[in-house]
Amino acid sequence: MSMLNIFSVAGSAVSAQSQRLNTVATNLANADTVAGPDGQSFKARQVLFQTQPMGDQGAAGVRVAQVLEDQTPGRRVHDPKHPAADADGYVTYANVNAVEEMVNMISASRSYQNNVEVMNTAKTLLLKTLQMGQGS
């Protein structure tokens, strides 16, 4: 039954999108963290999606292939009174761009909703298929 495959396809997409939402939440939560004693500030994370064949021909799911760390240097703010300031009086914050993360969040939530709708439609169609020949 090829329609049952839709649940694994859309399900993989939903789980991948929720992982994307998770990384967005991590980034936003750490947007204002400063560098620790080792001088390393929090690095923004991004998920990398990859197509995953789902057995049957034509069915293609999604998986998170990798979680990448953004290697751009963090935001540096001159604040000599800050306890975490370095010798020159600069504080290094995480390299999170809050605007980009918000856009990412909206995109992830839309994709999530789309895939949930796909599953709902497939479920309705399959339930109707189960009742085939019974209505008179």
Partner 1 sequence: MLDRLSDPLAFQSEALVLRAERQRLLASNIANADTPGYVARDMDFATALRQATGAQALPQSMATTHAGHLAPKTGAASEPGLLYASASQTNLDRNTVDMDRERANFADNAVKYEATLRFLNGSVSTMLNAIKGQ
Instruction: State the minimum distance, in angstroms, from the CB of residue 18 to partner 1.
Output: 13
Q: Give the whole-angstrom CA distance, residue 40 versus residue 80.
A: 18
> Which residues, 25 to 54, sit near partner 1 by CB under 8 A?
48-51, 54
Q: Give the whole-angstrom CA distance, residue 29 versus residue 33.
A: 8
Does residue number 61 form part of the binding site for partner 1 (CB under 8 A)? yes
In sequence order, the 6+-apart residues with CB closer than 8 A to the CB of 28 are 96, 98, 101, 102, 105
Closer to partner 1 by Cβ: residue 56 or 79: 56
Selected range binding partner 1 among 67-75, 77-85, 88-96, 115-123, rule: CB under 8 A: 115-123
Instruction: State the minimum distance, in angstroms, from the CB of residue 6 to partner 1.
Output: 4
Torsion of CA 66, 69, 70, 72, to 10 degrees: -140
Selected range binding partner 1 among 23-31, 33-41, 72-80, 110-118, rule: CB under 8 A: 110-118
In sequence order, the 6+-apart residues with CB closer than 8 A to the CB of 122 are 3, 6, 7, 10
Instruction: State the minimum distance, in angstroms, from the CB of residue 43 to partner 1.
Output: 21
The residue whose two tokens read 């939440």 is: 25
Binding site for partner 1 (CB under 8 A): 1-3, 5-6, 9-10, 12-13, 17, 20, 48-51, 54, 56-62, 107-108, 111, 114-115, 118, 121-122, 124-125, 128-129, 132-133, 135-136
